[in-house]
Every structure is written in structure tokens, then in C-alpha cells.
Chains A and B, each alone.
Chain A
């Protein structure tokens, strides 16, 4: 019984597509070869799936609106806040040297908390523990700016993330979430970003859902968007109740999705539509 349907479906697939857009005619998108055991043969940045105009905007340091955030945070880096009378710079000196590579390797294991922490959490740990300052709220301009600033110090460096040792159960948890269908539309991350990347979903052109550009300047929102907000958006769109930003679930997912993009150059602040 099933056989018949499958055969017919194949016949349907063979018929020509009406949706021929600029992207469909574009030749191979550039990527990097994936390590053995990876789900993709080629790992491709979201950059390659965007229009020429969007890419040009990202590439131009003077025009890229994400750099305004980086510049704002460069000032905050030096600003004393909290009851300890310290700034980020008091402990870390020049970000250009001390923060180089840090943002490329997040999330990282925290021995004290016994869990992985991402860049936003690390920044807030510094604020509360070392500066005795208030933590910044997730999605606040301050936190997203600083996250972009620190990550920018790894610009062009390959994403590297540890997925073994104590990270291994977190990696597995993230992987399980990635392949779980959620919401009334019953779709998983895999449904869109693994199976259907390089295809249109109506006007949306699907990428591999890589994280190397975050926080990312979204033209639609006219501001930098942190990664967990993007995760929330994707879950919301399938009519699912998203996990909370900075929850264990999204931390695990961040770790796993970072691994899927291992070796991609950090593009923060990337520009996306």
C-alpha cells in the first residue's frame, strides 16, 4: 500500500518547479569540508544563502550596522560599574588580545557551575561575581552589544567547540532537541535546516541554520539579535512553545548547533534579512 504512494510521490517530485529564483540558478555555495561523522559533506555559512546586497552590507565594516553595537560595547568595556569599582578592562586589559578566540569556542564548560555556559552567561558571571554589578537582561542592548564585541575579537577564526568529556551529555541533549519535532506544525530544526536547506519555503530561503554570525544584525528587526532569540523565533514559527533563553535546553542546543558549524569562520556581526 505504502509502495504505491511512494511511487506516486516520486512522480510528483519529478515535475518541474515553478519557483525558479535567482538563488536556484546560483552555482555551488562555498563551504568547508565537514569532518568525518558529520551530517553534512560541506558546512556552509548562512552568509552564502543571502542576497548579494545583504552580503555586501556585511562585508563593509563602515556600512555594516552591526558595528555600531561593537563600537558602543568597546566604550562599555572600559566603563567602571558595580561596587568593586571595576570595568571589564580592569581584569582583562585590551579585548583585542585577551578576548581573541574566546567567542569562537563557546559554549564552554564551567567547572564551578558544573555546566556549559555561553558568552552571554559568561559576561553576566563577570558582572555579578567580579564587578558586583547587576547582570544585564537577556535581549538588552547592553548584553547583546557586549556579546557581539567579545565575539568580534574572534572574527575570522574557526568555530571550535568541545563536545566530549563532561560536555558529552549536553551535546547529546542538544542533538535530541535538534531532531525533535515541535509545535502544531510538527517540525524539527532538522526538517528545515538539514533536509531542506538550499530550498525556498515560500519567500524564505533556508540555510543550514549555522550560528557563526551571532549576534546577527537582522534587517527586518533593525537591531542585533542574539542566538537564543533566533532559536525562540524558529520554534514560535512552528507554533511551538519555545524554551526560555539561556535555559539548559537552549544551552545544549547552542552547543550542538555550534558543533554542526565546526570550522566555519566567526562572522560576528553578520547581517541577515
Chain B
């Protein structure tokens, strides 16, 4: 699939990535190349420290709900639904990680991992979340920057 960034994402770029949590009526289109997302969703690199926060915060990524990470062992509860993310930066390229976080079902068919940058094709979404992705483009980039520290 070789489509260009759709209007929704383009808009996000201009709004510095904060618009994904606004009622985005336009479906997010991902610019997938070879099962990966080579382009940054914001056009700029993310911040690893901010990404760590997104990773841990229950109302944001809450990635720790399902994954274990040794460098976060000061945190009390590490989930077991998914694999340990230790060394994940060595297993995947940045572009692959971006697609895994944005829409993991494109890679792992039938996975329980939610798509963090998708805003359509879901069933009975609670009104306050309709048309919104779980994370903003900027938050996805921050998480990617954090994942790159896991090598």
C-alpha cells in the first residue's frame, strides 16, 4: 500500500500533532512502506523522556499494562499479555516500531495490542473517544523515541 499522508495527518503536522485527540472526523491514513512507517508522524523526532511517561501513564499508552521492561523495574506492576520489550530496538527498525505502535494488527494479525494511531473501524466506541486515536502523533513519536532506548 503506497498512499500519501491523508488530510487528517497533514492537519496534525500543522497543529504540531495535538489534533489527534480533537474530534478528528477524517480517518487517519498511514503511509505504509514495506510493513513499516518510515516517515515521522510529526515530521520531527520524538522525545524519549516524554515517551517514557506516555508508556507508563494509564490514560495514555499504558504499555506497561501488557509489557515488561527491565529498565522500568522501579515501577510496580508489569503486565504479561505481551512480550518483554527489552532489546526491542535491536529487533526492529524505527520504521517498523512506528507501525507496530500505530496499528499493530497490520503486523501481528489478531493481536490484542490496541492500535494507538487509528480512529475508525472500531465498534461501539464511547462517545468521548469517537473519531480520536488513543495517542496523538506527537505521543506516538515520543513512545518510539523511548522504545529506541531499549537496546
A19→B134 contact, CB < 8 A: no
- Contacting B at CB under 8 A, from A1-57, are 1-2, 5-6, 8-9, 11-13, 15-19, 24
Cα separation A208 to B125 with both chains bound (whole Å): 24
Cα separation A17 to B68 with both chains bound (whole Å): 6
- Contact mask for chain B residues 109-130; partner A; CB cutoff 8 A; 1 contact, 0 none: 1001011000000111111010
Q: Which residue of the partner chain A has the closest CB to B123?
A: A182
**Chain A interface residue count: which class?**
35 or more
B78→A19 contact, CB < 8 A: yes
- Contacting A at CB under 8 A, from B94-150, are 96, 107-109, 112, 114-115, 122-127, 129, 132, 134
On whether A15 and B83 interact (CB within 8 A), knowing A185-B114, A185-B134, A200-B77, the answer reads yes
| Interface: B87 (CB within 8 A) | yes
Known: A184-B126, A200-B79, A202-B78. 6 other contacts (CB 8 A): A12-B87, A182-B122, A186-B114, A200-B80, A201-B80, A240-B124
Chain B residues, Cβ within 8 Å of A18: 68-70, 73, 78, 84
Cα separation A235 to B134 with both chains bound (whole Å): 16
A180→B62 contact, CB < 8 A: no
Q: Which of A86-94, A100-108, A153-161, A191-199 contacts B (4 or more CB under 8 A)?
A: A191-199
Chain B residues, Cβ within 8 Å of A200: 77-80
Chain B residues, Cβ within 8 Å of A12: 83-85, 87-88, 91
Jot down 16 A-B pairs with beta carbons below 8 A, ordered by A.
A2-B107, A11-B91, A12-B83, A13-B83, A17-B68, A18-B69, A184-B134, A187-B112, A199-B79, A200-B77, A202-B78, A240-B123, A240-B124, A240-B125, A240-B126, A241-B125
Q: Which of B77, B87, B109 has the most CB of A within 10 A?
A: B77
Q: What residues of chain A have their CB less than 8 Å away from a CB belonging to chain B?
A: 1-2, 5-6, 8-9, 11-13, 15-19, 24, 180-187, 191-192, 195-196, 199-203, 235-236, 239-241
Cα separation A89 to B114 with both chains bound (whole Å): 51
Give A247 Cβ to nearest chain B Cβ, in Å: 13
| Interface: B64 (CB within 8 A) | yes
Q: What residues of chain B have their CB less than 8 Å away from a CB belonging to chain A?
A: 34-35, 58, 62, 64-66, 68-70, 73, 76-81, 83-88, 91-92, 96, 107-109, 112, 114-115, 122-127, 129, 132, 134
Chain A residues, Cβ within 8 Å of B64: 202
Q: Of B62, B73, B124, which one neighbours A241 at CB under 8 angstroms?
A: B124
A19→B77 contact, CB < 8 A: yes
Chain B residues, Cβ within 8 Å of A236: 126
Cα separation A160 to B69 with both chains bound (whole Å): 43
Cα separation A195 to B79 with both chains bound (whole Å): 14
Q: Of B34, B77, B83, B108, which one neighbours A203 at CB under 8 angstroms?
A: B77
Q: Which residue of the partner chain A has the closest CB to B65?
A: A202
B108→A202 contact, CB < 8 A: no
Cα separation A241 to B122 with both chains bound (whole Å): 11
A187→B73 contact, CB < 8 A: no
Cα separation A199 to B66 with both chains bound (whole Å): 9
Chain A residues, Cβ within 8 Å of B123: 180-183, 186, 240
